[in-house]
Every structure is written in C-alpha cells, then in structure tokens.
Homo-oligomer: A and B are copies of this chain.
Amino acid sequence: MTGYNIAIVGATGAVGTRIIKMLEQSSLPIADVKLLASQRSAGKVLKFAGKNLQVQEAVPASFEDVDLAFFSAGGSVSKKLAPEAVKRGAVVIDNTSAFRMDPSVPLVVPEVNEQALTKHQGLIANPNCSTIQMVVALEPLRQEFGLKKVIVTTMQAVSGAGNRAIQELYTQTKAVLNGEEPKAEILPVAGADKHFQIAFNPLAQIDVFEDGGYTHEEWKMIHETKKIMDDEDIQVTATCVRVPVAISHSESVWFELKQDGATVAKLQQLLSEAPGVILRDDPTRQIFPQAVQAAGQKETFVGRVRADGEQKNAFHLYCVADNLLKGAAWNSVQIAESLDRMNLLQIPHN
C-alpha cells in the first residue's frame, strides 16, 4: 500500500477519536496508522477503517518512520513530544496551543491561509476551535471589503474541554432534574481552584484568567485571528462563555468593514459562495444556524447577517460549527490534505 505512515497522539480523546473518523473519510493516501496516548490509555483497542488497532504509549521512539503526526493530547505532551517527532522526520499538525503563537510555526485554516503552509519547518499549528469558525465566516467578507474590527461573544460547547466535561454536563443535568445538588469537578478549567455548575448555567470563564481580565481563550481569539489573517491591525476583542451544550460552538460576531459599499445581500452572496461555509439565513422562514444541526458536520454555518443600523460598514453575523470537527479534527485533516496536495509532505512510503 502506498501512502503516509500516520500517528495520532491523544487517539482516545474527544478530538483524537474524531481525527480517526476524519482520516477514514479522507482522500489522503494512508499506509499505516499508529494510535498513541498516555500510559493510562495504552492497551485500549480502537478501530480504524474496520481494523482493530491497539493504542500504544506515546514516547519519542514512537515517531520513527512516521510521516505525519496529529497531536491532541494537551499542550505539555505536544511541547515534549512534537519536537521529537519532527526530529525523526515527521510533519506534526498540533491541535494544542503550545506552538500557535511561535512565529516560525504556521497557524492554518485552509479556507483562509493555506499558503502559510509553504513556510512550515515540520510543525504546523491548528488554531483554537472558537477562532477557526469565526475566521472561516469573516474571510470571504474581508477579501472583498477589508476587515477593521471584530467584537465576538462565544457560546461554547463543553466538549471543548474534553469527553470528561461532556460527562460532567450530563451528570450535573440529571442531578438538577432530580432535585439533587450537582457536583462540579472539571469546568470551567480542570486545573483551576474552583469548579462551577455548567448544567443550566452559562460560565463566563473558558481557560484561565490572564492579563487585563481576559481569559486565555479570549486572548487566543484575539492573537490567533490576527496571525491567521496576517494583519496585526485588525482590532479583535472577545468574550468567551461556556454554555450547557455538548457539541458545536455558537458565536455572535459584530464586525466593521474597511471599505464602503457592503450590503446584507452582498455579504450573504459572498458567504453562500465561500469555501467551508453554509449560509443558513432566512428570517422569514426562521432559518438560522443551530448547534444541533452543525454537530457532525464539517462546515461552518452562518446566518443572522444584519446591518448595525447606526454605524456605517458595521454588521452582525452568527456562526455555528462543530468544535470537534471544523474546530479541531477536521481542520487538522484538512491541513494534511493541503500539505499532500501542495507536495509539502515527504514522498509517501512504498
């Protein structure tokens, strides 16, 4: 079989299991797949394309003879093992925030900045889930009219914090419905001092608090958007909220365009023709993007396109995408497909 030897680090996680699915559906030529995880998960058996594969512990030697490695096992694992994989000749697509802001690492959403891949030095970063869907929606508008400012409020699914957070949402929800006290052990941040109820309760904290009262998630949206769009002058500010939803992030995006002349109809037309976007925008028929409809889909759904009635060149849109697919697994596999098409991967093994 001709194709790439692929490793998936964090193969048993919410994103890892979806990378497996996305690879099964991909046209990427695959010779071999190696599932890697922590010692704790080693020995588990997962299926790839009908074959049983045993999960192995990820160690530096795991990457011998690997052409392409997907990492989604947390920042510390990526920091430790991604350089080991690159050293052994693998191209790494990293889903964590470990290398995203490293100037030598391309941060890529194929619909927006596929060309940035040409400069890769073995390591490519997959952006934060909440950033990806927003830039997919804004890019076609930016291409036509330029982008001056973005103000976004996110309503993010708990699956962004992993399978255990989904379990926590469901367990807490059952407790509340039964009139019991819900137990909070994971959200808003697994390692934080305090944990709060997510069942029937939005939490305006995603990741840790950092400078200026912003959370790490909010800073990610600000910095990553500028890097992906390669324009430090785009003003971006964000409020990130975790909501009691299992899968799909919903985002309320206000934006100001640089050039005159945009109309709602024109923006809708651009979105309807944009790669990776499905326009769901017909108020007369109550059509707007919904989390349950986006779950399991690869596209970013966009609707509620409206003009800010009192500020020139300012508009709203509302975008929804599966945070585990377009926000993570699918965007990563899409990057791999781009690398393959652009001849930026090693020649497949024979």
Contact = CB atoms under 8 A, between A and B. Distances in A.
A214 B281 CA distance: 12
A323 interface: no
Interface string A295-312: 000000001111111110
A239 B204 contact: no
B237 A241 contact: no
A203 interface: yes
Interface in A190-233: 192-194, 196-197, 200-205, 209, 212-215, 222
Interface in A318-342: 318
Contacts of A245: 200-202, 244
Contacts of A243: 155, 202, 243-244
A61 to B, nearest CB: 41
Interface stretch (A44-52, A118-126, A169-177): A169-177
A192 B286 CA distance: 9
A316 interface: yes
A236 to B, nearest CB: 8
A37 interface: no
A142 B239 CA distance: 22
A304 B204 contact: yes
A307 B213 CA distance: 9
A291 interface: yes
Interface stretch (A6-14, A28-36, A132-140, A246-254): A246-254
Contact of A316 (B209, B239, B288): B239
A304 B314 CA distance: 25
A284 to B, nearest CB: 7
A200 B292 contact: yes
Interface string A232-272: 00011101010111100010101000000000100000000
Contacts of A192: 286
Most buried by B among A197, A285, A286, A307: A286
Contacts of A241: 155, 250, 252
A313 to B, nearest CB: 13
A290 B201 contact: yes
A317 to B, nearest CB: 9
Contact of A291 (B151, B193, B200, B246): B200
11 contacts: A155-B202, A188-B286, A194-B286, A196-B290, A201-B291, A204-B289, A204-B303, A204-B318, A209-B283, A235-B311, A237-B311
